[in-house]
Every structure is written in C-alpha cells, then in structure tokens.
Amino acid sequence: MTNSTKSALKSDVRKGLSSPHARPWLAAAAQVPATFAAHQAWGNEPLVAMGMTLAAGALTAATWWAGKNTSEARRLHATLTTAAATGYLTVASFTDPLGDSQLTWLAIGGSALAASWNVRKVLRVNPDAAKGEGEETGILTKSLGKAKARLRGEPKVEPNKVTAKYQLAPGELTNADLGNRINQIASELGISPNSIRIQPDAENAAQGEMVFVPTDMLKTPTAWPGPSHPGGSITDPVQPGIYEDGAPAELWFPADQDSGRNATHFLTAGMNGSGKSAGVSIAVAEVLTRRDVIVWAVDPSKGKQTFAPFLPYLDWVEMTTAGGEAMIDALSPVITARADALGEHGYKNWTPDAYRQLGMPYMVVWIEEAAKFFREGTEMEGLVMEARSAGISVIISLQRPSATSMPTDVREQLGGVMCFGVKGGTTADMALPEDVRDAGARPEAWENRKPGYAYLVAPGVDEDRYATPLRTYYTDDQQIEAVLASVPRPAADPVTATAAGEAYAERTHYTDDTTREMPVHTDERAGQDEVLLERQINRDIDARLPSDDDGSGPSVEQLNADPDREIPPVSVSEVWAFAKPAPTPEKSPEEAYSELLAMLEEYRRDGLEHVGPKHFQPYGREGRIGRSRAWISARLNELADEEIHLAETDDAGVYTLLYPTLAAAS
C-alpha cells in the first residue's frame, strides 16, 4: 500500500468519524468501555448504584425539560434515547458489562437508536430547498403563503431586537413583496407593524434582513439635552431626536464636498396633533445655536404659538399671509444676488469659508402651513429649484403633501423628508419614497396618537435608518429661550439685505421681551391686505393670458390699440351665429363656501356616507356654487383637515361625511 493510499484512507476514516451520521454509533460503541470501567471501579458499591440510578432519572427529566421549545416528536425521541442510554449504563455497570445478554441488548438496542437518529437527520435535509428551489422552510408560513423564503443562518438575538437574514427564491418573491406583507407578518407574530423593517441587500436582490423590535422603546419622550454643537457651524449635524435604539437622529442642510452630500430642502408632513411643529422647532432651535446661519420664518396660521420663543432670534419673521408672500417674493432676488456673489469668488456652493470670506451666513427658510400659500397661488417652484446653490435651504411644513396642497414640481425638489403620523396609507405614500415604504415605514399606524414619532429620509442619513422610527425631543419655550439667549446671532450680509429690498428693511423687529413688538396699525394692515390682493389678481391675470413663448401673445398693434377708437361697421356679408348665453358670474368665496356647506347638509339628509369633488362638479362655476373645480377641491381638503364636516379616507379625493354636533347656546 503506497503512502498516498494510506493518507487517503486516513483522511476518509477521519471524515467518516467526524460525520454527524457517525456520532450516534460512536456513542453506542462507547458504552462498552464506559460500563467496563464503571464495573471495575464501583461494581460492589450499592450506594454508587443507587446514585447512578437517580442520576439517570434526573438526566432523562432534564432532557424532557430542555426540549420544550422543539417539536414534540424531537423532544420525545431525545428523552427516550437518554433514558435507554443511561439505563443500560447503570445496569451493565453493576452486572456483567461483557456478558452475552448485555452485549446482545447493546448491539440490538444501540443500533436501533443510532439508526433512528440517522434516519431523522436524513429526513431533515431537503435538497431542493438548499438550492432555493423547494418548498417553504416553515418561516412565517401563514403571512408568506406559498412564497418561497428561508433563513440564512441563525437569527441574531439582542435585547429587544432580532435580526434574521433571509434568502428569497429567485424570481418568485421580491423585497418589495416582502415589505407589502408586513401587516400579515406582524399579525402572525403578534407585534406592531412598526416593529418590523425590511433591509434589502444592496448587492443581491434575493437577500436581505428582517429586523424585529417587539417593544416600543420610544413610549417615554426624551427631554431635549440642549444643542449638540453650540457655537459650531451649520455644517455640523442637527439632532432633532433619537432613534428607538437610543442613537441620536442627525440631519444636514448644507452641501458637503468631501462626502458628496448635496444641500437639502426638507418636507415635514404630519396630521394635526402629530407633533410636527414641535419637532421642527427642535431642529430650528439647533440651527439657531450655530455661528454661521440665519433663519427666516413664516406661519400665517398659528403665529406666536409656533414662533414665541424664537422671535428675537429670527432674522425675519412673518405671521400674516401678506407678510409671508412678501418674504417669499423677496427670496427670488436674494437667490440671484447670493449666487452671483458666491460665483464671483469661485464658490459653486456655500461653504463655511464663504462665510469667513464674504460674511454671508447660510440661510434656512422655515414655512409653516405652506398649503395656505400654495392654495393662494404663491409660486415656489423657482425658489426650491435655485436656492440650494445660493446657500439657502427651505423647510416646507404642511399636513398633507397632496397635489391639491402643493405643486408636484415643488415636491420633487424636496430631498429631505421628516414624516410624522399621517391619516391613512395614501398620505404616507405621498410623503415617503416607495422603497422606504417597502422597507416597513408605516406612519399611518401612529396618526396623532404618538406625537413626535417620525421617519427621517435625507442625504447624509444612513439608508438603513430610513425606515427606523425616531421621536423628536421634548422641550418647552422657556428652555429654548434660555438656550438662544446665550448664543450670539449673526446678521444678514449686505448682499442678502440689499437684495431683499424694502420688505426686509421694514420688517418687524422683536426684542428679548417677545411681548414688545413694533405695532402694526389698522391702516397698515389694510395696506398689507391690498398688496396681497393685488398679487393674487396679477397671478390670476398672468395665468389667463396666453404666453408669449409660443408666439400666441398679444401683438404690438393690440398692445398699442386706442381704447377710445370706434368699432368699425360689420360687413353684411359676414355670417352671424346665435350668441351663447352669458356665463354665470363667479360668486364670492364667502357665498360659494356657504353654498358648499349647504350642499353638505343636504347630502347628510340624503344619508350619503362619502363625498368628493364629483358630487359638486355639476354645480361648479356655471352652477350653484359658482366656483371652479380646483376651488371646490381645495375647500374640501381644508374641511377634511379640520375634521369637523369631513374626514380623509385612503382613497384620494374621497372624504367621509361627518355629522357635527352644535353646542347648545348658553
């Protein structure tokens, strides 16, 4: 026999002995030397025999107890094997371990038990499943149905967190399909849908991880620990809250050339009571503690309820619709002037060095209740498209980012999202990217029952965190005021201040005592309303006039026509047609709104459960309401936001008709 043959034989023997199938047979054969050694040592010791008997019983009972989390068949098989092995060891040790009867029973019984474990081992292995082509492996069989999925290794178990790597059968199930079944998975496991997240493998679409967090660690709000980088730069991360694992949530506004991160605008969405304004307030308080940034803010609805602790520290703040429009209009020349100044000094984006060299701070523009401006026709498309390169980030905050609440072109430019609790899955789909929804983000599960809960999606944020819930810090006005009072504030640079024009120069200034502000007289407020009305009229005219871009605009002769010139006589040869009836004059907003409410009351009497614009279309501009379909849709959306007359549903443009109860007169 050659050396190579001997080596191969030794290798085969070694592999055979180490095989899982050989272990039961080795255990049975080991009984012979074990019983012989025990007989030689204790064969004449009755007390030892009694002790071994008790030990055999205890080990058998322990095997039964340890198998409580396995299948019943496996538990019974293991217990019987333990009882037989320990029983034979005890009897043979105190009789004759080499006797014919003992060896016969060992040969027959031991072989049967060893073979039974071999058979069990073989039946456990499904060759087709190992190739990804077989049946389910029993993982979440109810929620996954006939889908083919299996685990890749043992799940990783941590305190309040289980991570399970999975393998999908190629071509039969996708990560998106798995995400769409989160509600079913949660039902099968008896946990909240928000406790489950799907994290696809970036390099293999058939693999990923399921993360389960069964206990909500955000139930107790966390107090704001104060600014994370007081006196630092706006390029340092802003921390509005914490994730469920206790890690701080971080976001950024400016661009970062080193990491390739772009400057970012933010959408903050959430229904009434979801903690949206309070969450943004934490972020803005963080921003205001930085040395190289200024904030402009507008809230035409809640005003001081939102801005009270910030008033002395905001570079420009407006709390009326007219003032907000003036600020938004001023931003267009500001963007151009800042971009020109940065470009002249070789800056493609704003950087801290631009602040040091030019004295130009970064700008954050905070627009609360932005839907009110969009409904009035305020244009922000150019603002969000051009502002980032000029060192300006915009926060647009509203309840529902639907097409009736904000233009799609604006939504597409908002690279960051902080989505709080919303009403229904349709609104969640509008606010969050599709892949984040597929990964398990379910803000509709919170609605307004968990104020401060949110998802954060933005450049610079780890993508694995997109579908991880966070909760914004809790604070009060006194803490914000105390923090901001201790931090010096930069002023707007001359380029920004000059470009902002008269509206900026005449803005209201607030002192540290926010109850003392420059008064606005009645005639001044009337003037602001007139300016706002004039802007709205000009926008309506511009929208109705044909554009000159396609050559359809008025001709030079039309523009220079004499309004007092007599109309030339009509030729008798011209063909006349019957005139159409004069259009019904458009009703005032107040009259139309009253008619809308009256129709809702009529639909209540008719027992209608759901309404939408289609129920009012026949009575639109030419009918009873006397306004356009767009106007009707906007008013219905406002009524749904108030949740007095209407409530939103999961179907876009369909509302539940409510039955408000009027309070009795005192």
pLDDT digits (tens, 9 = 90+) for 228-253: 999 999 999 999 999 988 889 999 99
With helix as H, strand as E and coil as C, how does 56-82 read?
HHHHHHHHHHHHHHCCHHHHHHHHHHH
| Cα 150 to Cα 132: distance, rounded to the nearest angstrom | 8
User: What pLDDT, on the 0 to 100 scale, is given for residue 297?
Assistant: 95
- Angle formed by the axes of helices 276-287 and 477-485, nearest 10°: 10
- For the ranges 37-41, 126-130, 312-316, the lowest mean pLDDT is seen at 126-130
DSSP helix/strand/coil, 491: coil
What does the pLDDT average to over 403-407?
Answer: 81
What is the dihedral angle through the alpha carbons of 479, 481, 487, 490, rounded to the nearest 10 degrees?
Answer: 140
What does the pLDDT average to over 218-224?
Answer: 91
User: What pLDDT, on the 0 to 100 scale, is given for residue 518?
Assistant: 44
| Cα 463 to Cα 455: distance, rounded to the nearest angstrom | 11
User: What pLDDT, on the 0 to 100 scale, is given for residue 242?
Assistant: 95
CATH 3.40.50.300 in the chain: give the residue spans: 262-505
**Which CATH number applies to 128-212?**
3.30.980
429 touches 300 (CB < 8 A): no
pLDDT at 68 over 80: no
What does the pLDDT average to over 517-526?
Answer: 46
| Cα 320 to Cα 299: distance, rounded to the nearest angstrom | 7
269 touches 398 (CB < 8 A): yes
Burial-class residue 267 by CB neighbours within 10 Å (0-12, 13-18, 19+): buried
Percentage with pLDDT > 90 across the chain: 31
278 touches 303 (CB < 8 A): no
User: What pLDDT, on the 0 to 100 scale, is given for residue 164?
Assistant: 83
Sheet with 316-318, strands from edge to edge, namely 248-251, 238-243, 470-472, 453-457, 416-419, 266-269, 392-398, 362-367, 293-298, 316-318
* 276 appears as a binding residue in the annotation: yes
User: What pLDDT, on the 0 to 100 scale, is given for residue 416?
Assistant: 95
Between residues 315 and 121, the one the model is more confident about: 315
Instruction: Outline where DSSP puts E strands in 141-286.
Output: 149-151, 156-158, 161-168, 196-200, 207-212, 238-243, 248-251, 266-269
What does the pLDDT average to over 15-39?
Answer: 78
With helix as H, strand as E and coil as C, how does 547-578 read?
CHHHCCCCCHHHHCCCCCCCCCCCCCCCCCCC
With helix as H, strand as E and coil as C, how does 578-628 read?
CCCCCCCCCCCHHHHHHHHHHHHHHHHHCCCCEECHHHCHHHCCCCCCCCC
| pLDDT per residue as tens digits for the range 577-631 | 544 455 556 678 888 888 888 888 888 888 888 888 777 766 555 577 877 777 8
User: What residues pair up with 417 in beta bridges, in sequence order?
Assistant: 267, 457
User: What pLDDT, on the 0 to 100 scale, is given for residue 16?
Assistant: 61
∠ at Cα 251 (250, 252), nearest 5°? 135
Q: What amino acid is encoded at 587 in this protein?
A: K
Percentage with pLDDT > 70 across the chain: 80
User: What pLDDT, on the 0 to 100 scale, is given for residue 534?
Assistant: 57
Between residues 500 and 145, the one the model is more confident about: 500
* 274 appears as a binding residue in the annotation: yes
Please report, in angstroms and rounded to a whole number, the separation of the first and last CA atoms in the chain.
Answer: 113
What phi and psi values does residue 453 have, to the nearest 5 degrees? -70, 140
User: What pLDDT, on the 0 to 100 scale, is given for residue 130?
Assistant: 42
* 272 appears as a binding residue in the annotation: yes
| Cα 565 to Cα 584: distance, rounded to the nearest angstrom | 29
464 touches 287 (CB < 8 A): no
pLDDT at 312 over 80: yes
| pLDDT per residue as tens digits for the range 321-348 | 889 999 999 999 999 999 999 999 999 9
User: What pLDDT, on the 0 to 100 scale, is given for residue 166?
Assistant: 84
| Cα 642 to Cα 645: distance, rounded to the nearest angstrom | 8
CATH 3.30.980 in the chain: give the residue spans: 128-212
Between residues 125 and 421, the one the model is more confident about: 421
- For the ranges 8-17, 136-145, 169-178, 614-623, the lowest mean pLDDT is seen at 136-145
DSSP helix/strand/coil, 657: strand
User: What pLDDT, on the 0 to 100 scale, is given for residue 350?
Assistant: 95
| Cα 395 to Cα 193: distance, rounded to the nearest angstrom | 29
pLDDT at 507 over 70: yes
Confidence band, pLDDT 50/70/90 cuts, at residue 128: very low
pLDDT at 8 over 90: no
Chain mean pLDDT for the chain: 80
Between residues 125 and 260, the one the model is more confident about: 260
What does the pLDDT average to over 8-36?
Answer: 74
Burial-class residue 580 by CB neighbours within 10 Å (0-12, 13-18, 19+): exposed
Residue 465 is classified by DSSP as G
Highest mean pLDDT (candidates 134-138, 264-268, 589-593): 264-268
CA atoms within 13 A on the CB side of 575: 1
| Cα 364 to Cα 289: distance, rounded to the nearest angstrom | 13
Structure tokens at 642: 């108030």
Q: 628-636 contacts: CB < 8 A, separation 24 or more?
A: 630/404, 631/589, 631/592, 632/596, 633/404, 634/375, 634/404, 635/592, 635/593, 635/596, 636/611, 636/612
Structure tokens at 416: 């960051």
Structure tokens at 495: 């380029």
Structure tokens at 488: 């010096």
Structure tokens at 467: 């579908």
* 277 appears as a binding residue in the annotation: yes
| Cα 596 to Cα 141: distance, rounded to the nearest angstrom | 51
∠ at Cα 377 (375, 379), nearest 5°? 120
User: What pLDDT, on the 0 to 100 scale, is given for residue 301?
Assistant: 85
Query: Selecting from 1.20.950, 1.10.1060, 1.10.3470, 1.10.10, what CATH number does the domain 589-657 have?
Result: 1.10.10
What phi and psi values does residue 581 have, to the nearest 5 degrees? -60, 145
DSSP helix/strand/coil, 162: strand
Confidence band, pLDDT 50/70/90 cuts, at residue 207: confident
147 touches 177 (CB < 8 A): yes
- Give, for 362, the enclosing helix (H) or strand (E): strand 362-367
Between residues 524 and 122, the one the model is more confident about: 122
DSSP helix/strand/coil, 176: helix
Confidence band, pLDDT 50/70/90 cuts, at residue 135: very low
Instruction: Outline where DSSP puts E strands in 450-533.
Output: 453-457, 470-472
User: What pLDDT, on the 0 to 100 scale, is given for residue 517?
Assistant: 44
What global pTM score does this model have? 0.58
- For the ranges 158-162, 283-287, 385-389, the lowest mean pLDDT is seen at 158-162
Closest CA to 31 of 128, 136, 103: 103
Residue 546 is classified by DSSP as P
What does the pLDDT average to over 360-369?
Answer: 95
User: What pLDDT, on the 0 to 100 scale, is given for residue 552?
Assistant: 47
Between residues 222 and 582, the one the model is more confident about: 222
213 touches 182 (CB < 8 A): no
User: What pLDDT, on the 0 to 100 scale, is given for residue 7?
Assistant: 64
Between residues 7 and 165, the one the model is more confident about: 165
- For the ranges 7-21, 397-411, 439-453, the lowest mean pLDDT is seen at 7-21
User: What residues pair up with 210 in beta bridges, in sequence order?
Assistant: 164, 198
Q: At the topology level of CATH, where does 262-505 sit? A: Rossmann fold (3.40.50)
CATH 1.10.10 in the chain: give the residue spans: 589-657
Residue 334 CB coordination number (10 Å): 26
Residue 644 CB coordination number (10 Å): 11
